[in-house]
Amino acid sequence: MKRSITIIIIIIVIIILTILFIPVFTQFTISNGETGDVVFCDSPEKYERFYISFIHSANRTPVYEYYKTTGKKIIAYKTTFYSYGAGMPDGSDNPDAEFSFKNGQVQIDNINKELDEFTVLVGTCADHTLHVGNESFKLEEYIEPQHPATFSIKKVSIYTISRRFIL
């Protein structure tokens, strides 16, 4: 009798652990690019369109990179910035890109670069910020500056989702 209760308890614990730690829920995530640990997750529907802003390290002007999601893909579709500097796109890798000047900014539309994930190196003074709807999230609150933040849409566990509300 005592042995069967022990076996039942072990089975229940295994089932609970399996339910908690098996990745089954699709989420928009930000992970530590070095460790793979998910530091932020949310409903992917909320991130159908979002953008990341930062201050360019060389020319010290704002840059805005726009993304949309479809299924498990993230699509970079537009960027705007005030002046060219090191690392700024020039459109040479995308013949369909459309350049224009609006409100004193260079705007590149029709980028349409499909990504499984992308990584941003969180800067020390770049003020990398994720914007979605009326909300903004400073990346340095989730990833230490000078470390990579990886954005993706992937399956996560109940435990990973619950950490967002606990931490």
Supply the pLDDT for residue 95: 79
Q: pLDDT digits over 108-154, tens only?
A: 899 899 999 999 999 988 999 999 999 999 999 999 999 999 999 99
Q: What is the pLDDT of residue 1?
A: 67
117-121 vs 148-156, strand pairing mode: antiparallel
**For 31-72, how does the pLDDT look when each residue is reduced to its tens digit (9 = 90+)?**
999 999 999 999 999 999 999 999 987 778 899 999 999 989
β-pairing verdict for 117-121 and 73-81: unpaired
When pLDDT is cut at 50, 70 and 90, the band that residue 104 belongs to is: confident
pTM: 0.85
User: Which has more confidence, 85 or 55?
Assistant: 55
Question: Which whole number is the average pLDDT over 9-27?
Answer: 89
Full strand arrangement of the beta sheet holding 73-81? 98-102, 105-115, 73-81, 62-70, 49-55, 129-132, 135-138
Is the pLDDT confidence value at 164 over 70?
Answer: no
